[in-house]
Amino acid sequence: MKSFAVIGLGRFGTRIAQKLYSMGCEVLVIDKDNDKVQQIADNVTQAVSGDAEDQDILRAIGVRNCDCAIVCTAGNLSASIVITMNLKELGVPYVVTKAKGPQHQRILEKLGADAVVVPEQEMADRLAAKLVEPNILDFIEISEEYSLVEEQAPESWFNKSIKDLSVRARLGVNIIAVKNGQEINIAPGGDYVVRSGDVLVIIGKYESLAKLRKK
């Protein structure tokens, strides 16, 4: 069982803490607002009212024993920076910090945050991709060059095997999974035959994925 510390109980922090707890994880939350702490207390493992900018408080509640800490105080830039530094100095194995924007993200990365998320930016990217390409069911940016998409299999691919379609050679993309209802095929082989209703999980460069959608 993994253990998480969630710091900051805004909408993002509250949601991720409750989700992690519902998935069977141990979840410690901390916030300066005692009312928010009390509201979530029954839906997490431990809820603490305190200032995470104070390293002694973090040490006292045992945050360094958590596998991962998630800093959700992006609205207060200085607080998120100090808390991230505190967590790294205490030796938390993996620190994820929410950023308000690209500049804030760069600062946090230089401070040693293991991962930095910008939820509003990521949601905007996903929405834009879905609006431009209606067949896209989900979109995840992996790097400046690569992304992963979930897309309905085009009709022209029905009843053809992945080997026959030769998507890697022709289009420069890889099909890493296929979903159809409750059925999931991870890393399908070349003999897999695409069916109506298949959702393809595809990874590739942006230009390759754009080429794919023209097929």
Domains of the chain as residue ranges with CATH: 3-117 (3.40.50.720), 122-213 (3.30.70.1450)
pLDDT at 82: 94
pTM: predicted TM-score of the whole model, two decimal places: 0.65
pLDDT at 170: 86
Residues 6+ apart with CB under 8 A from 64: 58, 90, 91, 92
Question: Tens of pLDDT along 139-188?
Answer: 566 565 777 788 888 888 999 999 999 888 888 888 988 989 888 898 89
pLDDT at 131: 55
The pLDDT-based confidence of 126 (bands split at 50, 70, 90) is low
